[in-house]
A and B are shown apart, each in its own frame.
Chain A
Amino acid sequence: MKVDQLSIFLENRAGRLAEVTRILSEAGVNIRALSLADTSDFGILRLIVSDFDTAKAKLKDNGFTVGRTSVVAVKVSDDPGGLHNILTMLQNAGINVEYMYAFVQQSGDSAVLILRFDRTEQGIELLQKNNIEIIPGDTLYSM
């Protein structure tokens, strides 16, 4: 049920991000979703890609520090309150969201949330119990 997210350390320097996208495009890897967190001197780029292993290997070859993180992808209806319901549920269960990002699907009737929990397994259990649709990694990589 989990999704592999590629996390990449980026020094805060012009051109670092373009270097990542160049390496991925040359390797024929497609980016499905991304988010970038930054501080004054470094950033962390988080990606869901079409081919995790190739992306990781190519970036490592080029001297990037990368990591694998398990995240959860859920489908929510593209309506007011869709996200709020899920967050309330998590809050009541005492599960912490470390960070999240989202994208709207092409069909436009639903959005996909990428969630990073402090306790991934419990998070998945809770979502399943409440009949929230979880998108498996394989589906997401090839969407």
Chain B
Amino acid sequence: MIYDVHNETLPREDLEKLQLKRLQALCERVYANVPFYKKKFDEKGVKPQDIKSLKDLTLLPFTVKQDLRDQYPFGMFAVPKDQIVRIHSSSGTTGTATVVGYTKRDIDNWGELMARSFMAAGASAADTVHNAYGYGLFTGGLGAHYGAEALGATVIPISGGATRRQVSLLKDFAPDVICCTPSYALFLAETGEDMGINIKDLPLRIGIFGAEPWTEEMRRSIEKKLGITAIDIYGLSEIMGPGVAIECHQAQDGLHIQEDHFLAETIDPETGDPVGPGEEGELVFTTLTKEGIPLIRYRTRDLTTLNTTPCKCGRTTARMKRVTGRSDDMLIIRGVNVFPSQIESILIETEGLTPHYQLIVERQGNLDTLEVQVEVSDTMFSDEIKNLQLLERKVMKNIKEFLGVTAKVRLVNPKEIERSMGKAKRIIDKRNEA
């Protein structure tokens, strides 16, 4: 079943005509309403009327995450504040959060696109959706929620946490669909085992998993343990939230991008030049219909490959390969985005810490763990245990408060050798070893 047959199966030629029309209108709109973009266009010497074909996209400037931070909080908004009906924001210490605003129409479009996603995953209006994405400033919870409602399904807005209760409700309410992070799905299955509830025996048949990278092996393991079809969903708050792209259950081979709303490109992260179809590159999005915070050529830092060959589900939209890596140093810990620089500023703000640190990420069982190793300098060293423990606790508390992730903080000896080798290796990610 296809939710929006017309728009999801447009012949490529018609789709591109629609994209061009929307791109031209978008350029006019941001040039007139967002001083940041007017300046960017002028610097590149490009005018909205220079965009005559989709190929002219390369004339336009890129937008990066730092731009959104620099314009914090509302500098990127393209409509007066009174037209904004909702705000979402990514975590971040002061000044590093990215803020996005939605108009009434943005919210409606988002609901539609999420409804498309549910249907692509194999769900229908008759289904009940157990939504375990976090509700709040994070786009996952509310995004999936309104999508399920737009579809006409029954929503259980359980949000994250209270895992044993979640398992009980999976049994009692017998939902057909679950939305959460892939690692949480496995954690639910394990918790179920402890409680003597086998999720495999429940009516649950579809899982829509996103907000963190996962592998094909993990998919198979989830499908086996929970007895469901596991579907990969993609999105980011800067572009909209969940529902930018989704796998179809027929092929489970690449995620269909909602191309009538988002113009996708892949580029070489080093040079910024476009890469050919079938070549891996950094994914770049231009929001064709967004009103609140439209973005031109936003660099996601996610690495993927685009595929425009026809799909057996009948959709004509391009498919992106499962995201395998990033062109920057962002870590995703249990669905939360963490940049080493954020940890660094917390360490600097926590009295007496010189920011020599290393992040160790592991997967214990099915959950990501983050350990922050901080080198003990002479200035922060104390002969009393309690002072050092207080320091550990203070850093932990600040990381939890500002980034929303629980990290273990461990004090370590200075590592002379590694520093003398040049660039400090900040991240040791052991999740892909096994």
Give the B-binding residues of A (Cβ under 8 A).
Answer: 5, 7, 9-11, 37, 39, 41-42, 44, 46, 63-67, 69, 98-99, 116
Do B388 and A66 have beta carbons less than 8 Å apart? no
Do B381 and A65 have beta carbons less than 8 Å apart? yes
Do A65 and B378 have beta carbons less than 8 Å apart? yes
**Contact among A9, A46, A67, A116 for B413, CB-based, below 8 A:** A9
Do B412 and A11 have beta carbons less than 8 Å apart? yes
The answer to whether A5 and B389 touch (CB under 8 A), given A63-B414, A66-B378, is no
Cα A65 to Cα B385 with chains together (Å) = 14
Do A63 and B382 have beta carbons less than 8 Å apart? no
B131 to chain A, nearest CB (A): 38
Do A44 and B383 have beta carbons less than 8 Å apart? yes
Given contacts A7-B381, A11-B411, A69-B383, could you give 17 more A-B pairs where the C-beta distance is less than 8 Å?
A: A7-B383, A9-B376, A9-B413, A39-B389, A42-B411, A44-B383, A44-B384, A44-B388, A63-B414, A63-B415, A63-B416, A64-B413, A65-B378, A65-B414, A67-B383, A98-B384, A116-B384
Do A11 and B383 have beta carbons less than 8 Å apart? no
> Can you offer 23 A-B residue contacts whose CB atoms are under 8 A?
A5-B383, A7-B381, A7-B382, A9-B376, A9-B413, A11-B413, A39-B388, A41-B410, A42-B388, A42-B411, A42-B412, A44-B383, A44-B385, A44-B388, A63-B414, A63-B416, A67-B378, A67-B381, A67-B382, A67-B383, A98-B384, A99-B384, A116-B384
**Contact among A39, A66, A67 for B385, CB-based, below 8 A:** A39
Q: Size band of the B side of the interface?
A: 10 to 19
Closest to A98 in B: B384
- Which residues of chain B are near A37, meaning CB under 8 Å? 385
- Which residues of chain A are near B383, meaning CB under 8 Å? 5, 7, 44, 46, 67, 69, 116
Query: 8 Å CB contacts to A: which residues of B320-351?
Result: none
The answer to whether A9 and B384 touch (CB under 8 A), given A65-B378, A66-B378, A67-B378, is no
Query: 8 Å CB contacts to A: which residues of B400-414?
Result: 410-414
- Which residues of chain B are near A39, meaning CB under 8 Å? 385, 388-389
Cα A69 to Cα B382 with chains together (Å) = 9
- Which residues of chain A are near B385, meaning CB under 8 Å? 37, 39, 44
Give the A-binding residues of B (Cβ under 8 A).
Answer: 376-378, 381-385, 388-389, 410-416
Closest to B382 in A: A67
Cα A11 to Cα B377 with chains together (Å) = 13
- Which residues of chain A are near B376, meaning CB under 8 Å? 9, 42, 65
- Which residues of chain A are near B377, meaning CB under 8 Å? 65
- Which residues of chain A are near B411, meaning CB under 8 Å? 9, 11, 41-42
A39 to chain B, nearest CB (A): 6
Most chain-B CB neighbours within 10 Å: which of A11, A44, A65, A98?
A65
A44 to chain B, nearest CB (A): 6
- Which residues of chain A are near B416, meaning CB under 8 Å? 63
Do A63 and B413 have beta carbons less than 8 Å apart? yes
A68 to chain B, nearest CB (A): 9
- Which residues of chain A are near B413, meaning CB under 8 Å? 9-11, 63-65
In the A-B complex, the 4 residue pairs with the closest CB atoms: A7-B383, A69-B383, A63-B416, A65-B376
Cα A41 to Cα B376 with chains together (Å) = 13
- Which residues of chain A are near B388, meaning CB under 8 Å? 39, 42, 44
Cα A37 to Cα B415 with chains together (Å) = 22
A5 to chain B, nearest CB (A): 7
- Which residues of chain A are near B389, meaning CB under 8 Å? 39
Cα A11 to Cα B414 with chains together (Å) = 10
B243 to chain A, nearest CB (A): 43
A8 to chain B, nearest CB (A): 9
Cα A116 to Cα B384 with chains together (Å) = 10
Cα A118 to Cα B385 with chains together (Å) = 14
